[in-house]
């Protein structure tokens, strides 16, 4: 039987973890990007759809290409981070389901229904984006998720050859610089946003 993970792990992943606006110079290796993927891919998605398509911008050229599509303030964060990641989503994820979900003919559930696929791609790639954040934290890294960017601009700059893939959100990745943090915003107690029925 599983037991709760220890308090220091909970601090690292949740209580002490923050959204970073800047990073130290400590580099992030390609191996670490693979390690993040190897954890995040294990998180659940509907029918194992795995619709997220990630582009890890590590070169100055790719970071600049992304930064030019970002809102003021977000652009410099993208430029200066060790890695900036685009969490894209594939509205044709169903093409992969014969392989990814062999228990059933799940591809047929989505064929001919683009709206349903878009809704599912958004839901499940957002979950995968959350798994990305948690996996990075579990490996000792920090992230800075952002939605302040020109979605059409990012799509044409990065997904021009695959128009069925579009950007969901972006994130910086690295070892966070605590000097870049804003004060922590409130996190309400259970009673405010929860009920037990
Ligand atoms: C999907 C998403 C989009 C966000 N977009 C932006 C953004 O465009 N610019 C920005 O500076 N912060 C952005 N944030 C950062 C949030 O404001 C931050 O994660 C939140 O206030 C919690 O901060 P904390 O983790 O330090 O407590 C975004 C976060 C998420 C999850």
pLDDT in tens, 89-142: 999 999 999 999 999 999 999 999 999 999 999 999 999 999 999 999 999 999
In a domain? residue 159: yes
CA of 20 to the centre of ligand 1 (A): 9
Tell me, yes or no, whether 184 lies in a domain: no
Tokens 């989505």 found at: 110
| pLDDT of 31 | 98
Residue having the nearest C-alpha atom to atom 31 of ligand 1: 145
Give the model's confidence band at 194: pLDDT under 50 very low, under 70 low, under 90 confident, else very high.
Answer: very high
Domain count along the chain: 1
pLDDT confidence of residue 84: 98
- Expressed in angstroms and rounded, the spacing between residue 65 Cα and the centre of ligand 1 is 21
Q: Which domain holds residue 40?
A: 20-174
Q: 2 in a domain, yes or no?
A: no
Span from the CA of 18 to the centroid of ligand 1 (angstroms): 9
Does residue 195 sit within a domain? no
185 pocket-lining for ligand 1 (C-beta < 6 Å): yes
Cβ of 148 below 6 Å from ligand 1: yes
Is 43 part of any domain?
Answer: yes
Q: Residue 127 half-sphere exposure, CB side, CA atoms within 13 Å?
A: 15
Confidence of residue 59 (pLDDT cuts 50, 70, 90): very high
> What pLDDT score was predicted for residue 17?
98
Q: Is 146 in the pocket of ligand 1 (CB under 6 A)?
A: yes
In a domain, 11, yes or no: no
Q: What is the CATH number of the domain that holds 34?
A: 3.40.109.10
Q: What is the reported pLDDT for 51?
A: 99
Binning pLDDT at 50, 70 and 90, where does residue 28 land?
Answer: very high
146-177: per-residue pLDDT in tens?
A: 999 999 999 999 999 999 999 999 999 999 99
CA of 108 relative to ligand 1 center, distance in Å? 37
Provide the Cα torsion 63, 166, 150, 145; round to 10°: -60
Is the CB of 153 inside a 6 Å radius of any atom of ligand 1?
Answer: no
Q: What is the pLDDT of residues 171-180, one digit of tens each?
A: 999 999 999 9
Place of tokens 């998720």: 145
The separation between the first and the last C-alpha atoms of the chain, rounded to the nearest angstrom, is: 28
pLDDT of residue 73: 97
Residue 5 in domain: no
């Amino acid at each position: 039987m599983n037991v709760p993970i220890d308090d220091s792990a909970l601090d690292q992943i949740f209580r002490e973890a923050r959204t970073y606006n800047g990073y130290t110079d400590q580099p992030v290796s390609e191996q670490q990007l693979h390690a993040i993927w190897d954890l995040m891919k294990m998180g659940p998605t509907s029918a194992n759809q795995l619709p997220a398509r990630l582009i890890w911008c590590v070169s100055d050229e790719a970071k600049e290409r992304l930064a030019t599509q970002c809102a003021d303030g977000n652009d410099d964060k993208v430029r200066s981070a060790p890695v900036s990641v685009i969490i894209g989503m594939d509205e044709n994820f169903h093409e992969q389901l014969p392989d990814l979900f062999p228990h059933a003919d799940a591809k047929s559930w989505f064929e001919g229904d683009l709206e349903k696929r878009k809704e599912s791609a958004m839901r499940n790639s957002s979950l995968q984006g959350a798994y990305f954040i948690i996996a990075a934290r579990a490996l000792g890294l920090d992230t800075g998720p952002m939605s302040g960017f020109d979605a059409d601009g990012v799509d044409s700059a990065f997904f021009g050859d695959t128009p069925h893939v579009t950007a969901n959100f972006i994130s910086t990745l690295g070892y966070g610089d605590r000097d870049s943090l804003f004060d922590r915003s409130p996190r309400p107690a259970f009673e405010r946003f929860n009920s037990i029925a």
